[in-house]
Amino acid sequence: MKDLHDEIHANVQRALQEDIGSGDLTATLIPEETALAATVVSRENAVLCGMQWFEACFRLLNPATVVKWFAKDGDAVRAGQALCRIQGNARTMLTAERSALNFLQLLSAVATQTRRYADAIAGTRAVIVDTRKTLPGLRVAQKYSVTCGGGVNHRIGLYDGILIKENHIIAAGGIQPALKKAMAIAPPGVFVQIEVESLQELQEALTAGARMVLLDNFALDQLADAVALTRGQAGEAVILEASGNITLDNVRQVAETGVDRISIGSLTKNIQAIDLSMRFAEPG
C-alpha cells in the first residue's frame, strides 16, 4: 500500500482546500483567541476508523490542537459512546469540524460494514476481500478501513496485480492466450488472476495453468462444484474467489462452499456514513 502518512496528508489537504477556499467566513464570528473543547460522540453502534485523518484536519490548521481518544481504529463502539475530546483554538476547530467528521463517518462506515461480513463468515476458510469500486481519491483510505474491519485488501490499483476480466479475455483472443501473456509479463510478486463465468471456463483456466481464479456470479451449487473440481485437480494450489450478487443474507452460504476469498464491492461503494456528533463545551 502507498505510504499512509503521505496519503492522509494529501487527502486532508484536498478536503480542507475545497471546504475553506478563500476563508471560513462564519468562523470569524468567534474572537480570534478563543479556546474551547469539544467531544465527538457516536450515535450508533459502529467500528471506529479514520483517527489519523480526523486529527490531521485539525492539526494542519493548528498544530497545537490536542485530541484525546477513548477508542482506537478497529474498536467496536456503541451508540452514545464518547470517541474523543478535542481542545484548541475555537476558530480552527470550527473550520476543521466538517472535514474531520466526514472522514471519520465515512471510514468508520466502511470498517463497520466489513466487520459485519467478516463476522458472518467466521469459522470458515474464507476471507472478505475488497475491490477497486472505491470513491475517487480515497482508495487507500477506504482500503485501510477494510483492514480495520477485518477484511483483506485485493490489489490497490491496476499496477500491483493482474486481473484478467471478460473484456480482457475477448480482446486477447481467449483464456489461454490471455493467461499465457499475463504470466509472461507479471513482475515478481505480482499475482495473476482470471475471471471465469462457468465451470467450462474454469476447467480451461486450470488447464492453462491458472493459480488464482475469480468465480463470477456462480450459483451456490456451481461454487461447490468449482471447489470440488479445483481441489481434485490442483489441491490447495489454486485460490478461488467468489464474486457477484453476494449480500449479508447469503455470504455465509457462499463461504461454506469452500471458496478461499469472497470479494464485496459494496464494502466501499454503497456506504451509509456512521452518525457522529461533535459538541462544544460551554466556555467558562
Pairwise CA distance, residues 153 & 123, whole Å: 20
- The one catalytic residue in 2, 68, 72, 165 is 165
216 in active site: yes
> Is there a contact between 83 and 41 (Cβ–Cβ < 8 Å)?
yes
133 in active site: yes
- The one catalytic residue in 59, 116, 132, 133 is 133
Q: Is 183 exposed, middle or buried (0-12, 13-18, 19+ CB in 10 A)?
A: middle
Q: Which three cell numbers stand for residue 59?
A: 492539526
Provide the 8-state DSSP code for 29: G
- The one catalytic residue in 24, 130, 216, 241 is 216
73 in active site: no
- The one catalytic residue in 24, 97, 130, 195 is 195
Residues 6+ positions from 63 with CB-CB distance below 8 Å: none
Residue 86, Cα to own-chain centre: how many angstroms? 26
72 in active site: no
Which is nearest to 278 in space by CA: 67, 47, 74? 67
Tell me if residue 263 falls in helix, strand or coil: strand
Residue 69: strand pairing partners: 84
Degrees, nearest 5: CA angle 236-218-253? 75
Which is nearest to 68 in space by CA: 40, 34, 109, 104? 40
- The one catalytic residue in 59, 85, 98, 211 is 98
143 in active site: no
Tell me if residue 163 falls in helix, strand or coil: strand
For 234, phi and psi rounded to 5 degrees? Answer: -125, 0
Catalytic residues: 98, 133, 165, 195, 216
